[in-house]
Amino acid sequence: MNKEIVEFVASHAEDAIVFDDCDSALIGYGLRIGLEPVAIYCHQLLVEHFIGQGMSEEEAVEYVDYNIVGSWVGERTPIILYQP
């Protein structure tokens, strides 16, 4: 399923910035008026990805929050979606 999402984002938001090796957390793309499309990642899926890489849950949350949520790489910076 996620391969389909990656291909979907690549075809509809081809210049969107994506995070290396985090395809499992990519959930789509978003549009904002007057700006180019951006990739959208799920926060929980990002945390689960890094837990799968060997981090504890606390380490993964801290890593995602600081290095991904806390990063700004320009107008094409991906959106991080939080869900209850």
User: 14 lies in which domain range?
Assistant: 2-81
- Indicate the number of domains in the chain: 1
Report d(CA 68, CA 20) in Å as an integer: 11
Take residue 49 and report the two structure tokens written for it.
């990805």
pLDDT, tens only, 1-39: 578 888 888 888 888 899 999 999 999 999 999 999 999
**Residue 55 class from Cβ within 10 Å (0-12 exposed, 13-18 middle, 19+ buried)?**
middle
pLDDT, tens only, 37-64: 999 999 999 999 999 999 999 999 999 9
pTM exceeds 0.75? yes
